[in-house]
A and B are shown apart, each in its own frame.
Chain A
């Protein structure tokens, strides 16, 4: 099955049409089209180097495609694969900084996320002193703290311990139930039952994964 579009009655909150991207002679994306509707959880899997992160960077606007278009409705939350944080600042300062970016009047949900992901004891710590897993928790928090309409998560649970991994899925389930669209990109998806749809990125094209 190679139909790249999720059939849905309501208009998608995120759609990509004919995305093509090359780096030099290497064509990474060869015409990727798909869409995601509100309240759904979609996964994109693929081997290392398949172009998953490139696709996500294009979806979020960090990279420009050679061809094709991306349309989004509502706010975005982007969790990049590598924690993109400022080593000189503390966890609390990151929350404050991104609250300013998102135009948030208060930080209550951000603080709640810190508590629920169980790193509240590190609020006053600088990023350089945090473990990789704790940095990833903050990386994820910064993507979720404004309750965006579309969540774009690149390998979001890497470095998490089992407890945090489960908490992550609880959060995603809540956000989906709340009408948010969630797109998870990973080279490994263990529990396919959690997803509404899973696509496989292979040879630069997206295929609906038969499971």
Chain B
């Protein structure tokens, strides 16, 4: 017997419907993102800031308000995508296991999860970039979109990883918030000498930050950094999906 629709298509469709019905995420997207940009552009003064631009290896002078706008967008989207994917993954674990026990091939469920994380990350990245344009026009919008998409992928993967690992919702939310805060705060050079230290290269959005600065203030296209943005998403997603696979596999196939 053939299923009415393709299994992959069906799983992707329902995962996306589920994400779309996450009211908190929708409210955050509609309200939080523009308010956050508005707040930053009103509060942070315009003025030159030294940023260690590792694409060229030199310090560059950028406008503090514009840099903060870029950081605000990144901060907002990492939180939103992290929440959405964490919530859906954690709440769906037993349901996904039931689907697998009912015959849904595990690899299709996994492929559908990867697809849905990617779609959500891209959609939120494009939306956050478009809202940014209301407040300021970076030199290369596509590069900013790429950097946002990469950061969204990293936090979508973090949400997936925490969702398969943690039982409670509160600790997941707390971890997403804390990781995002540490990640974006330490890289912000405004009044923060730590932003120039080498250890920031280990942070999840390090490459994305370098990329959006390239997109915001230069005409460079730093391909090695574009490739580097995929390291964190790939590592976290692989780890998360491995745990998902272990937790939803059918240990006793038992049919004879």
Contact = CB atoms under 8 A, between A and B. Distances in A.
Contacts of A87: 91
Interface in B82-106: 91-92, 94-95, 97-99, 101-104
Contacts, number: 95
A100 B103 CA distance: 9
A113 to B, nearest CB: 15
B23 to A, nearest CB: 10
Interface of B: 1-5, 7, 10-11, 14, 17-18, 21-22, 91-92, 94-95, 97-99, 101-104, 250-256
Interface in A59-85: 60-65, 69-74, 76, 78, 80, 84-85
Contact of B10 (A65, A72, A100): A100
Given A58-B252, A80-B98, A97 B14 contact: yes
Given A62-B97, A84-B97, A88-B17, 10 more contacts: A69-B254, A74-B255, A84-B94, A86-B14, A88-B18, A96-B4, A98-B102, A100-B4, A100-B10, A101-B102
B10 A97 contact: yes
Nearest to A71: B256
B252 A64 contact: yes
Contact of A105 (B3, B21, B95, B252): B3
Interface residues of A, number: 37
A78 B102 contact: yes
Contacts of A76: 101
Contact of B3 (A69, A78, A104): A104
Interface of A: 58, 60-65, 69-74, 76, 78, 80, 84-89, 93, 96-107, 126, 142
Contacts of A104: 1, 3-4
Nearest to B7: A100
A35 B95 CA distance: 28
A101 B104 CA distance: 4
Contacts of B250: 61-62
Given A61-B254, A64-B252, A71-B256, A99 B91 contact: no
Contacts of B91: 86-87
A29 B7 CA distance: 37
A74 B256 CA distance: 8
A70 B18 contact: no
Contacts of B3: 99-100, 103-105
A93 B13 CA distance: 10
Given A72-B254, A84-B94, A62 B1 contact: no
Nearest to A97: B14
B198 to A, nearest CB: 43
B2 A64 contact: no
A64 B104 CA distance: 19
A88 B99 CA distance: 16
The listed residue with most A CB atoms (<10 A of its CB), out of B97, B101, B254, B256, is: B254
B255 A84 contact: no
A85 to B, nearest CB: 7
Contacts of B251: 61, 63-64
A105 B1 CA distance: 6
Contact of A78 (B92, B101, B253, B254): B101
A189 B21 CA distance: 40
14 contacts: A60-B101, A64-B251, A70-B254, A71-B256, A72-B255, A76-B101, A86-B18, A88-B17, A96-B5, A97-B10, A101-B7, A105-B3, A107-B4, A142-B102
A69 B256 CA distance: 11
Contacts of A72: 254-256
Nearest to A106: B4
